[in-house]
Structure 1
Amino acid sequence: MPQDAYAQAGVSQRAADRGVAALVAELSRIETGRPSRSVPLPGHYASVLRLDDRTGLALGTDGVGTKMVVAERMRRFETIGIDCVAMNVNDLICVGAEPIAMLDFILCDSADPEICGAIGRGLREGAELAGIEIPGGEIAQVGEIVAGYELTGTAVGLVDLDRIVTGERARPGDVVIGVPSSGLHSNGYTLARHALEEIELSDSRLGRPLGEILLEPTAIYVRAVLDLLASKRVDVRGLTHITGDGLNNLLRLAAPVGFEIDEPLPVPAVFELIAELGGVGDEEMYEVFNMGCGLACVVSPESEQPACEILEPHHPGARRIGAVTDRAGEVVRRS
């Protein structure tokens, strides 16, 4: 594939950014006739509304994207619900919130009870891993619009207003700790599928069938991060869910700083295969995929060891991957 392989595969991040900007421009003009409850968190992972003087309600929404295409081809829907939960709750924890519930939304051409049941089993498992409830949801049968299934969710959580994690306290010299991903998670599947389209999903050159590797559920980081935030030994200054845009997601933190990633986590073999067969350059790979790092935690230098001790039992392999720099708006990767 040529340069900007993701756009060639059918996904233009630049177009998406322009679309978001146009949408937000209109939504920012909403007049409710009363003072806004919104806590300003521009560009962050979740929105927060003030419930009272102490408590905020965190909200986020996300879906599984075209990972569902792989599930449909494999006729395996029992784990895709885990991905839906993960993509939502992992965003909420990045503002320091404790997720408490999620609603799911299934868009399909026709609701098959067997498929819906399998999706439900994954949602249940994901909810139990995250410690949340799923008290309701919606199924919309719109065969004139879609062929197949789409799965999204909207999650809510609670956060003390004076403990919202924005990243504004990050300082040069702070440590960036990387927490391993379980694989592709739920981003970049359009590019991945195009790069791997000549390989059967049963191909086992990576030690397991390719389809199983692509359907590996997204890691859920809730319990690890809640333990981190509760620790008196750790000063958490920023939390970043590494999704689309890769390590550039670090720039969503509020402080005017940069980041140097000098000890990146090991890259799973599936990413190397995508790069090789898709002709995707190293730079674009790190802009589209998590490349083995699903979450980044920014902590004070003295918090590095206790933070790793807390994260490691939940997600083996969590360790320092870099540091905060004074080069604002810049993410430099050295390997």
Structure 2
Amino acid sequence: MREQAEKGWTYAKAGVDIAKEAAFIRALTYEGRGFASLVEIPGCDLMMAISTDGVGTKILVAAALQKWDTIGIDCVAMNVNDVLCVGANPVCFVDYIAAEHLDERVAAEMGRGLRRGVEMASVQWAGGETASLPEIVRGYDLSGTCVGVVKRDRVIHPRADVGDLIIGIPSCGIHCNGLTLARTVVQKAGFSLNDPFPMNTERTIGEELLTPTRIYMEILSFLDVCSDVHGLAHITGGGFLKLKRLSDRDEIGYDIYDPLPPQPIFEFLQECGRIETAEMFRTFNCGMGFAVAIPPSEEKTALKVLKDAKVVGEVVRRRGIWVRDTLL
């Protein structure tokens, strides 16, 4: 008999509390709010964009399957996509690997993924750091940093306003966020990561979860042709709550009235974990990995460049984020 959560699983119940993470960041007195920080480069009209992120507990899925060759793509993607959110062109990437024990086979496979990721993003892999930390780390942790550049007058500042359209670009699966909840749901429902994925039995559940994060390099082409972009958002931890970063105005909201279709993995997790719809959108990307805020006048131009994107909603005058009338 598969164990089911009586009231349904939440991210916090699985061990990750987004509200506590936000409070922790505030306690650091960190001044930034966006996806990447901008640093002035003296003597020129360029600014440097920098972002640091990791693959989180997705690496535990890689460990369970002993399949390490795609997790590096995720690491590059999480950082490159954040740098793109300020309009910057990603230039270089460095990795950080913390390990309990060093295994050359694991290193070779991780390296293949990292190499593939930087090739996909057209950035230079400028090295990194490997730390042996047997007293601190259990297994491995993988993170990285990406640096990009952008002309001062081309920086994308979050300024979405009432009437703007929200363009959604599809994800290719769960990406790198919500894996703690996903793994908990799979386990408590009586499945193994090595079991066939019920909605595609040619793959295991673990392989489905390991689908690499999409790298949204087409954003650069989009920025070349769209002159009036009001915000860019990488939909990561916190799911659709990341839409709040499209604007620095707290009095507006977002009505996602026609969301992109979620991949089967999300339906599977929601059913197995009895996860409420609002919690799904607060935790996972649910099929939308990147969002763009533009005025209606830019719609046709945007959709010509962003081939698989569509209008999913609009900025509204009421506060909050609504997905098909469900308040997140």
1:216 to 202, 211, 214: 211
2:279 to 277, 281, 284: 284
Residue 311 (str. 1) matches residue 306 (str. 2): yes
In structure 1, what is the Cα distance between the partners aligned to 2:255 and 2:197? 35
In structure 1, what is the Cα distance between the partners aligned to 2:195 and 2:92? 36
1:4-29 Cα distance to aligned partner (Å, 9 max, x none): 62111111112211111111x2x56x
Given residue 299 of structure 2, which amino acid in structure 1 is its aligned partner? E
| Structure 2 counterpart SS, 1:91 | helix
In structure 2, what is the Cα distance between the partners aligned to 1:70 and 1:332? 32
Q: Which residue of 2 aligns with 1:33?
A: none
In structure 2, what is the Cα distance between the partners aligned to 1:308 and 1:112? 46
| Structure 1 counterpart SS, 2:76 | helix
Q: Which runs of 5+ in 2 are unaligned?
A: none
| Structure 2 counterpart SS, 1:122 | helix
Residue 8 (str. 1) matches residue 1 (str. 2): no
Q: Which residue of 1 aligns with 2:91?
A: 100
In structure 2, what is the Cα distance between the partners aligned to 1:47 and 1:325? 27
Aligned-residue offset at 1:255: 4.0
TM-score (norm 1): 0.90
Aligned-residue offset at 1:234: 4.9
Q: Which residue of 2 aligns with 1:294?
A: 289
Aligned-residue offset at 1:171: 2.4
Aligned-residue offset at 1:3: 5.9
| 1:149-188 superposed matches below 5 A | 149-168=140-159, 170-188=160-178
1:64 to 49, 55, 59: 55
In structure 1, what is the Cα distance between the partners aligned to 2:22 and 2:90? 27
Given residue 26 of structure 2, which amino acid in structure 1 is its aligned partner? A
1:91-149 Cα distance to aligned partner (Å, 9 max, x none): 00001111101110001111211101100100011101111011110110111111211
1:244-271 Cα distance to aligned partner (Å, 9 max, x none): 1111111112342321111100011111
Aligned-residue offset at 1:277: 1.1
| 1:1-335 superposed matches below 5 A | 1=5, 2=7, 5-23=10-28, 25=29, 42-52=32-42, 54-168=45-159, 170-197=160-187, 198-200=190-192, 201-207=194-200, 208-222=203-217, 224-231=218-225, 233-256=226-249, 257-312=252-307, 316=308, 318-327=309-318, 329-334=319-324
In structure 1, what is the Cα distance between the partners aligned to 2:141 and 2:204? 24
1:195-220 Cα distance to aligned partner (Å, 9 max, x none): 01121223231113211110000000
In structure 2, what is the Cα distance between the partners aligned to 1:9 and 1:330? 25
Aligned-residue offset at 1:275: 1.1
| Residue pair 1:239, 1:295 contacting (<8 A) in 2 also | yes
1:258-291 Cα distance to aligned partner (Å, 9 max, x none): 2111110001111111111112111111000000
| Residue pair 1:234, 1:307 contacting (<8 A) in 2 also | no
| Structure 1 counterpart SS, 2:197 | coil
| Structure 2 counterpart SS, 1:177 | strand
In structure 2, what is the Cα distance between the partners aligned to 1:199 and 1:234? 49
| Residue pair 1:56, 1:161 contacting (<8 A) in 2 also | yes
| Residue pair 1:259, 1:325 contacting (<8 A) in 2 also | yes
Given residue 235 of structure 1, which amino acid in structure 2 is its aligned partner? D
| Residue pair 2:53, 2:75 contacting (<8 A) in 1 also | yes
Given residue 17 of structure 1, which amino acid in structure 2 is its aligned partner? A
What RMSD over aligned residues (CA atoms) do the two structures have, in Å?
1.4
In structure 2, what is the Cα distance between the partners aligned to 1:299 and 1:16? 30
Report % sequence identity. Answer: 41
Q: Which runs of 5+ in 1 are unaligned?
A: 29-41
| Residue pair 1:44, 1:166 contacting (<8 A) in 2 also | no
Given residue 229 of structure 1, which amino acid in structure 2 is its aligned partner? L
In structure 1, what is the Cα distance between the partners aligned to 2:273 and 2:134? 32
In 2 relative to 1, CA 217–167 (structure 1 residues): closer, same or farther, beyond 3 Å? same
